[in-house]
Each structure stands twice: as structure tokens, then as C-alpha cells.
């Protein structure tokens, strides 16, 4: 075997081993005492459980938002949202952009989500609600674990 190829192969294997050894993402960030983190959510932006919990919260907030839109007669033919499905898809996309592991690396505070849902339900139809983050209790910084 050619010594140049053998040396290059050895170097490649050594580099791959070195890189995999350095690919360690152990995050031990502490969550503030007394904070209600969503059940199943763990600290770390690559945590699959956190993503599943975040998706449930996005679904819950989207449902609350679309319930409000239905009660305000904004869902149906000729309305702001053509159907309940259209409303849910648009809301999930918008909310997921705001509440994710990038914006909330420590997770989402369950108590703050509950406050947001209550605020959505109590919002009057006379107040247009283009995005939930317009509401004080639904701002991303408020719902993220500090």
C-alpha cells in the first residue's frame, strides 16, 4: 500500500476520532429554583423530549387562539381563516417560530403558558390579535424558563 495513502487514511481516522470526542454537548445549566418547567422537558437545545413538550404547548396555544378566532366569527368561508384546519396550521407555524429550543433553550414555563391561554380566552373580539406575542402574557421572553 502506498505510504502517502496510508498516512492520509491514518490522519483522517485520527481527525474523525478527535472530532467525535469533541462533539460533547453536555449542558448542565441550572434552572432557577421554583420554576415550573414543562413536564418531560430537560435542559438542552438538542433534547428530543423538550421538542415533544414544546410541540404540545404550540398545539395548545394554537387551539386557544383558533377557538378565539371562531368565537369572533373569523373562521369560515370569506373570513380571515377559511377553515379551522387553516387556522390551526397558520397558528402552529407562527407560534412554533416564537417558542422553540433556540428562543427558549431552558424550556417553557408551564404556569406562564397557562396565563397566556387565559389571556387569549379573555381577549375581546374588538382587539385584533395578529400574533399572540402582542399580548403581554404571551411574549416569548415571559413564557421561556429564565
31 assigned to some structural domain: no
Residue 2 is predicted with a pLDDT of 52
122 assigned to some structural domain: yes
Domains contained in the chain, number: 1
20 assigned to some structural domain: no
Residue 33 is predicted with a pLDDT of 44
113 assigned to some structural domain: yes
Q: If we measure between CA atoms, which residue out of 109, 110, 101, 98 comes closest to residue 140? A: 98
29 assigned to some structural domain: no
3 assigned to some structural domain: no
- What is the residue range of 91's domain? 36-143
Residue 57 is predicted with a pLDDT of 93
Q: Which residues of the chain have pLDDT under 70?
A: 1-50
Burial class of residue 143, CB neighbours in 10 A (0-12, 13-18, 19+): buried
**Do residues 117 and 60 touch, judged by C-beta distance below 8 A?**
yes
Amino acid at each position: 500500500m502506498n505510504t502517502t495513502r496510508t498516512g492520509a487514511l491514518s490522519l483522517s481516522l485520527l481527525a474523525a476520532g478527535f472530532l467525535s470526542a469533541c462533539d460533547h454537548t453536555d449542558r448542565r445549566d441550572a434552572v432557577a429554583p421554583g420554576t415550573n418547567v414543562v413536564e418531560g422537558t430537560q435542559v438542552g437545545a438538542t433534547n428530543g423530549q423538550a421538542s415533544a413538550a414544546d410541540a404540545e404547548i404550540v398545539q395548545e396555544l394554537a387551539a386557544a387562539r383558533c377557538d378565539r378566532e371562531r368565537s369572533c366569527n373569523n373562521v369560515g368561508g370569506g373570513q380571515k381563516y377559511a377553515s379551522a384546519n387553516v387556522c390551526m396550521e397558520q397558528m402552529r407555524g407562527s407560534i412554533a417560530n416564537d417558542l422553540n429550543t433556540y428562543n427558549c433553550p431552558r424550556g417553557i414555563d408551564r404556569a406562564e403558558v397557562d396565563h397566556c391561554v387565559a389571556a387569549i380566552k379573555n381577549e375581546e373580539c374588538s382587539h385584533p390579535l395578529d400574533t399572540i406575542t402582542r399580548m403581554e402574557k404571551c411574549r416569548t421572553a415571559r413564557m421561556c424558563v429564565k
